[in-house]
Structure 1
Amino acid sequence: MDGRDLFFRFLFGGSAVVLSYVTAKLLPWKVIGGIFAAFPAVMVVAVMMVGMTKGSKEAAKIAQGSVYGMIGCFICVLTVLFSLQLTRNWWGSFIFGLISWFASSLFLVYMRDRKQEKRASSIRSEHV
């Protein structure tokens, strides 16, 4: 990754995050602001940059992987919401949410890989 690539990632990703934050702060409806706060800026920029440098097939792999991260984001939001309601500790809820996001995303990837291995194994056994 060269300096130009890093600059564009920073420019596009940072701009998307700032735009999401400003929109969330300016809108009077906090629910809509929360939706904009969850804008997938990092994923969009990652797919765009990989597509520009390595092509559509590699960009599709990034997009596919982001599905697991976004499901993890959903789990993170639920974890933070329920943790805040139970503990009223925003810092601990934040940390617990990040851990749940990472763990659930990795678990989903693990389950996908396991399913693919079983499918490949059953195909091999059919041909024997």
Structure 2
Amino acid sequence: MRTSELLLRFILGGLAVVLSYVASVLLPWKALGGIFAAFPAVMIVAVLMMGISQGSDKAAAVARGSVYGMTGCAACVLTVLYALRTTGLWWFSLLLGVTVWFLSAMAIYKVRGWMQARAKG
């Protein structure tokens, strides 16, 4: 592997960690920060950073939110696979997969919230 490839992976991985941490701190819904933390390589670091800086309760909220994002990852993989087979365009397939990942994770999050509210009321 070339040095430029390693550097790019380091920068993109670091950027993913920073963005998920910023999302979990700035967004009012901590579970949404967990969805961003669901990039598999990022989840552990995001929970670790949140635990160190804001404590176990906030880290647990990020970990709970990552369940939605991880479920969305399955939708992402299936979408990318199907889109690649159908279109042969890797860039389109990845863009579509990331979009489906986010939308499906948010849908699962919203449905769970709706179901909890309905159970209480």
TM-score tier by shorter-chain length is 0.5 to 0.7
Identity %: 50
* Residue 53 (structure 1) shift: 1.3
> 2:116 aligns to what?
116
Q: Which residue number in structure 2 is paired with residue 46 of structure 1? A: 46
How far does residue 41 in structure 1 lie from its aligned partner after superposition?
Answer: 2.0
Q: Could you tell me which residue of structure 1 aligns to residue 91 of structure 2?
A: 91
SS in 2 for 1:74: helix
Q: What TM-score results when the alignment is normalised by the length of structure 1?
A: 0.64
1:50, distance to aligned residue in structure 2 (A): 0.7
Query: In the alignment, which residue of structure 2 is the partner of 1:32?
Result: none
> Do structure 1's residue 75 and structure 2's residue 88 form an aligned pair?
no
* Shift of residue 93, structure 1, vs aligned partner: 0.7
Aligned to 1:104: 104
What TM-score comes out, normalization by structure 2 length?
Answer: 0.67
Query: RMSD between aligned alpha carbons?
Result: 2.3
Partner deviation per Cα, 1:18-72 (whole Å, 9 max, x = no partner): xxxxxxxxxxxxxxxxxxxxx7221111100110111111111000000100111
Aligned residues: 89
Tell me by how many angstroms 1:116 deviates. 0.8
Higher relative contact order (CA 8 A, sep 6+): 2
Deviant stretches of 4+, over 6 Å: none
